[in-house]
Amino acid sequence: MREDVEALDIRDVTANWVNAAVLESQISERIKALADLAHTPLFFGRLDYQRTTQQGQRFYIGRRHVHDGGGDPMVIDWRAPVSQPFYRASRKDPMGVRLRRRFGYTGGELTAYEDEHLTDPAAADLTGTLLRAEIERPRVGPMRDIVATIQPEQDEIVRSGLTGTVCVQGGPGTGKTAVGLHRVAYLLYAHRERLARTGTLVVGPNRSFLHYIEQVLPALGELEVKQTTVTDLVAHVEVRGTDEPPAALVKGDARMARVLRRAIRSHVTTPTEPVVVVRGSRRWRVPTYELQHIVAELLDRDIRYGAARDALPQRIAHAVLLRMEAAGEAPDDRVQDAVARGAAVKAAVKAIWPQVDPAKLVLRLLSQPEFLAEHAEGVLSADEQRAVLWTRPPRSVRSARWSAADAVLIDEANDLVERTPSLGHVVLDEAQDLSPMQYRAVGRRCTTGSATVLGDLAQGTTPWATASWSEALTHLGKPDAVVEELTAGFRVPREVIAYASRLLPHMSPGLTEVRSVRESPGSLRIRPSRGDGDVVTACLSALRHEGSTGLIAADARVPALASALTGAGVPFLAPGEETTRDTRLTLVPASLAKGLEYDHVVLDDPAAVVAAEPDERTGLRRLYVALTRAVSGLTVLHSSPLPWQLGGNGADQPRG
Ligand SMILES: Nc1ncnc2c1ncn2[C@@H]1O[C@H](COP(=O)(O)OP(=O)(O)OP(=O)(O)O)[C@@H](O)[C@H]1O
């Protein structure tokens, strides 16, 4: 197929060089998409349909469509409707399929297969050996796709329609990120043209996380999806400052949107004098009351400040035009345009509906107590107003030390002035950490599109972390979204998730415990530590296994551990740096662990992880995240007593 594309000769088919250049770039994209990936086999499954359906045909299922020299399909794209039974068919509902075969690979080499006879009542249920092997396959490099083993409950989310927004609540390692990325790939397949026009976007918590997931979509042949953080999404100003939690809480509150709306609209002043337009020897006068009427009408219509400002000159000019007609003249559209652009109308518009610079507006709100009070009256309390005001107001937009929350406010103000363009689909990962104002920022980027919202309420670690999905979805502008729950855990073995789940009643009561699909005796070890030397030893022993190792520690412990590792001659990476066969250890500050995973994890001093957070609940949640990053083994080393919520007396704890 690649050779066919490479051999295409477009010299005679294009009319001009623009067409030729466009076509050439499309061809080169196609060649890129058809590149061979050494460790990615062309197919991973086979479906044999019953004689009655699909004429008893046999299909091979793979990451992309492959045809033979004659154009006949050899491998069917996993997203095609014929492939769906590969993920959904069961003995209860075989969906016309007689046999489902899964192929197992090691490196690029076919090493196993697993058959399910879906119409044979005597056949035993499969335990999913290949699924287990796939999950436990040692990790090097970035996150990989799961197309070969997507589970039925995941597949329902992956294939849900483009028009609806889906919110997925799921505990650690239930496959939320994987599902979100595969949903994008599916939607791009099913609605290619529409999404090519409108665009798709994946929003993640930080750059190291994005770096970790960035290869999944390209491996599925999708090269066009943009990936960003919320902070980068709203980067109208350079973010150099941080907020104290009380300020950040108020700035992230949805009530700020009301304050901003009022502040922007306050720039409109009621006209107090008529507009007089001179044309040739005649003067045309639009009286004050009529101008007031035009302004009131524009304010009533809920259009953007900037759009109304653009409409105002034409409205005034139209009033002039009507007067000309009444006087027996026959002006056309060009006259109306000329009047609208004339000095008299321009001056009036400038006075009535001045331009607003969103960043300057936010600067003023955060610097001038009276201006803030005027627009926050009845919305924010006096204390809340005090919390957001700068103690030393900056001179200008450029010199201000804007915080991430400020940038979101500017984004909101921007949107009040000029509508933010909407994309076709947005995937929002680790959504539980967003503030209401951040939800609004993401929401306005999919007003005419849909979204996939992924998160875990138990992993919320910001002061404004989401308490309920219905609230969050309302802020996002998608109150009718369906909330689905994933409860099967793929990443973390049963022993480890059971240990971590002891924290749940103390930090997120009422949430369902993850049910791990894998038992892995001996995967959890808990030991006291006598110093950093013990931590290094634990890392070295984890590194004796294949795959990646993560050393997770309270942020403040990272420098000491870094020098202990360096002193012992153990090379290590920072999160977001790709593991290689030679360097497989990553030193992870607890604050960056979210969303990441390692085959083996060494967790340094849980009590320090909890103590580093401003309150106990956040501390326990941070610890819960850290405890749930391991695929094959977790070693907990504690130099101080374990938090009591983990059952700290040790009576029923595994040791080793
Ligand atoms: N059906 C599946 N087949 C194979 N592996 C899977 C499957 N579902 C999930 N996984 C694997 O489980 C691990 C966890 O998945 P993922 O990171 O998507 O979970 P998550 O719910 O986003 O976790 P967290 O809440 O910790 O961010 C990944 O290695 C992923 O590839």
pLDDT digits (tens, 9 = 90+) for 32-66: 878 887 777 889 999 998 876 666 689 999 988 99
pLDDT of residue 111: 87
Contacts of 365 (CB under 8 A, 6+ apart): 259, 260, 263, 371, 372, 375, 388, 409
- Which residue lies with its CA nearest to atom 18 of ligand 1? 175
Strand 524-528 and strand 630-638: the pairing is: parallel
Coil, helix or strand at residue 584: coil
pLDDT of residue 648: 47
ipTM of the complex: 0.98
Can you give the residue ranges of every domain in the chain?
2-33, 45-126, 275-352, 508-646
Q: Where are the alpha helices (DSSP H) in 333-460?
A: 333-341, 343-352, 358-367, 369-376, 382-388, 404-417, 436-443
Nearest CA among 194, 189, 200, 188 for reference residue 228:
200
- Which residue lies with its CA nearest to atom 25 of ligand 1? 172
pLDDT of residue 14: 72
Structural tokens at position 361: 């507006």
Task: Give the Cα separation of 77 and 476 in Å (integer).
Answer: 33
Cβ pair 527, 635 in contact under 8 A: yes
DSSP string, 413-436: HHHHHSPPPPPSEEEE-SGGG--H
Query: What residues of the chain score a pLDDT lower than 50?
Result: 648-652, 655-656
Contacts of 244 (CB under 8 A, 6+ apart): 387
Cβ pair 334, 327 in contact under 8 A: no
- Which of the listed residues 153, 159, 177, 210 should we mutate to test ligand 1's pocket, taking the one with most ligand atoms within 8 A of CB? 177
Ligand 1 site, residue 155, Cβ cutoff 6 A = no
pLDDT of residue 55: 63
Task: Give the Cα separation of 628 and 595 in Å (integer).
Answer: 10
Tens digit of pLDDT for each residue in 406-458?
Answer: 999 999 999 999 999 999 999 999 999 999 999 999 999 999 999 999 999 99
Structural tokens at position 308: 């109304």
Q: Distance between alpha carbon 257 and the CA centroid of its chain, in Å? A: 22
pLDDT of residue 126: 60
pLDDT of residue 450: 95
pLDDT of residue 56: 63
Ligand 1 site, residue 149, Cβ cutoff 6 A = yes
490 CA to centre of ligand 1 in angstroms: 6
| Residues in binding site | 170-177
Q: Using alpha carbons only, what angle is made at residue 490 by residues 486 and 493, rounded to the nearest 5 degrees?
A: 125
Q: What phi and psi, each to the nearest 5 degrees, are found at residue 334?
A: -65, -35
- Which residue lies with its CA nearest to atom 5 of ligand 1? 135
Ligand 1 atom closest to 625 (CA): 26
Q: Which residues of 219-237 are buried (b: 16+ CB within 10 A; e: fewer)?
A: bbbbeebebebbbebbbbb
Q: Which CATH superfamily is domain 508-646 in?
A: P-loop containing nucleotide triphosphate hydrolases (3.40.50.300)
Strand 585-589 and strand 549-553: the pairing is: parallel
Ligand 1 atom closest to 179 (CA): 18
Q: How many helices (H) and strands (E) does the chain have?
A: 28, 21
Ligand 1 site, residue 150, Cβ cutoff 6 A = yes
DSSP letter assigned to residue 298? H
Ligand 1 site, residue 516, Cβ cutoff 6 A = no
